[in-house]
């Protein structure tokens, strides 16, 4: 693993401005943009943030890498604190364009068009925190994530589970790539005792508990999802909003 470098040596231009926020602000002002950046009290050369005008978004966190000259962003929805956008680039101007779009509350796809380095997590925004829509959003995220991975067995498992209406009606989440389910959304999950696992070149497995005893094995993802239905507890109602 590469060792961290002195941020002043890695980012001398940022150090000259005094903070990452100040450097971003200089770029924004030069380009005629109106977004404002905030510097944290600690590590101001490596971190900055920008607020959004819409309440269902958190701040956009901007971080400088410690081992090479590059910046990352992460922007979440405010109810579950899950990423809507992320990405990294060596172009500070693109970071500023992404920040302006995030601040203005433009649609997620438009943020990517404004700054092509931006990666969309697959989640969509649910301003009213409707649990059914939050469930749909999380399924879309898992399908997007699986589609980007070089793991066809895992991708097949996510798609097979999604294809089953009963499983699709539950709120999905993963623990170390184990597919799990809940009858409430984050931030407080109500976990269903059912886990599905994909393995490279091995059978799919169904278990009742995370890292627990295997209940059944299947050679295909579709069969594993079908088996899972038989182990679901009875009386599961619609997904509710997870609250503290």
Cα 77 from chain centroid (whole Å): 9
Cα separations (Å) of 112 from 29, 74, 120, 127?
A: 21, 13, 8, 20
**Considering 75, 91, 120, which residue would you say is the last residue of a domain?**
120
Task: Answer positive or negative: Cα dihedral of 99, 104, 106, 108.
Answer: positive
Query: What is the predicted pLDDT for the residue at 237?
Result: 86
In which element (H, E) is residue 162 found? helix 152-163
Q: Does residue 2 fall inside a structural domain?
A: no
* pLDDT tens digits, one per residue of 147-198: 999 999 999 999 999 999 999 999 999 999 999 999 999 999 999 999 999 9
Q: Does residue 188 fall inside a structural domain?
A: yes
The answer on 115 and 20 residing in a single domain is yes
The answer on 99 and 137 residing in a single domain is no
Split into its structural domains, the chain has a count of 2
Contact predicate 89/114, CB 8 Å: no
**Considering 120, 140, 172, which residue would you say is the last residue of a domain?**
120
Q: Structure tokens of 225? A: 């999802």
Q: Does residue 126 fall inside a structural domain?
A: no
Q: What percent of the chain has pLDDT over 90?
A: 93
The answer on 223 and 135 residing in a single domain is yes
Q: How far apart are CA 120 and CA 140, in angstroms?
A: 11
In which element (H, E) is residue 23 found? helix 20-30
Query: In 3D, which of 99, 74, 104 has the Cα closest to residue 24?
Result: 99
The answer on 36 and 90 residing in a single domain is yes
Query: What is the predicted pLDDT for the residue at 185?
Result: 98
Q: Are strands 119-120 and 214-218 parallel, antiparallel or unpaired?
A: unpaired
| Averaged pLDDT, 42-65 | 97
The answer on 159 and 92 residing in a single domain is no
Residue 84 has pLDDT above 60, yes or no: yes
The answer on 160 and 115 residing in a single domain is no
Q: Does residue 244 fall inside a structural domain?
A: no
Q: How far apart are CA 206 and CA 179, in angstroms?
A: 10
The answer on 114 and 18 residing in a single domain is yes
| Averaged pLDDT, 87-98 | 98
Residue 2 has pLDDT above 80, yes or no: no
Q: How far apart are CA 83 and CA 46, in angstroms?
A: 20
| Averaged pLDDT, 79-85 | 97
CB atoms within 10 A of CB 100: 20
Residue 105 has pLDDT above 90, yes or no: yes
The answer on 58 and 88 residing in a single domain is yes
Q: Does residue 223 fall inside a structural domain?
A: yes
Q: How far apart are CA 196 and CA 157, in angstroms?
A: 8
Cα 135 from chain centroid (whole Å): 14
Torsion of CA 193, 199, 205, 211, to 10 degrees: -40
Residue 106 has pLDDT above 70, yes or no: yes
Range of the domain at 214: 131-231
The answer on 98 and 142 residing in a single domain is no
Q: Does residue 20 fall inside a structural domain?
A: yes
- Look up the pTM and report it: 0.94
* pLDDT tens digits, one per residue of 188-243: 999 999 999 999 989 999 999 998 889 999 999 999 999 999 999 999 989 999 98
Residues in the chain: 244
**Considering 120, 152, 175, which residue would you say is the last residue of a domain?**
120
Q: Does residue 238 fall inside a structural domain?
A: no
Q: Does residue 242 fall inside a structural domain?
A: no
The answer on 142 and 223 residing in a single domain is yes
The answer on 136 and 219 residing in a single domain is yes
The answer on 142 and 60 residing in a single domain is no
Query: What is the predicted pLDDT for the residue at 1?
Result: 57
CB atoms within 10 A of CB 118: 26
Contact predicate 38/51, CB 8 Å: yes
Contact predicate 242/187, CB 8 Å: yes
């Amino acid at each position: 693993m590469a060792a961290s470098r002195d941020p002043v040596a890695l980012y001398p231009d940022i150090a000259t401005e005094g903070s990452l926020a100040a450097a971003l602000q200089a770029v924004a002002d030069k380009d005629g943009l109106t977004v404002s950046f905030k510097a944290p009290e600690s590590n101001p050369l490596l971190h900055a943030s920008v607020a959004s005008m819409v309440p269902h978004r958190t701040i956009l966190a901007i971080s400088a890498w410690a081992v090479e000259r590059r910046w990352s962003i992460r922007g979440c929805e405010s109810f579950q604190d899950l990423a809507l956008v992320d990405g990294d680039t060596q172009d500070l101007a693109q970071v500023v364009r992404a920040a302006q779009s995030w601040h203005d509350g433009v649609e997620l796809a438009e943020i990517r068009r404004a700054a092509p380095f931006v990666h969309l997590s697959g989640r969509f925004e649910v301003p009213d925190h409707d649990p059914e829509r939050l469930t749909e959003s999380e399924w879309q995220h898992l399908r997007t994530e699986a589609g980007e991975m070089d793991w066809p067995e895992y991708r097949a498992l996510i798609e097979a589970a999604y294809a089953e209406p009963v499983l699709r009606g539950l709120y999905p989440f993963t623990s170390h790539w184990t597919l799990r389910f809940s009858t409430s959304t984050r931030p407080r999950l109500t976990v269903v005792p059912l886990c599905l696992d994909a393995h490279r070149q091995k059978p799919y497995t169904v278990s009742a508990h995370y890292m627990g005893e295997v209940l059944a094995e299947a050679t295909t993802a579709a069969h594993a999802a079908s088996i899972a239905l038989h182990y679901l507890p009875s009386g599961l109602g619609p997904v509710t909003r997870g609250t503290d």
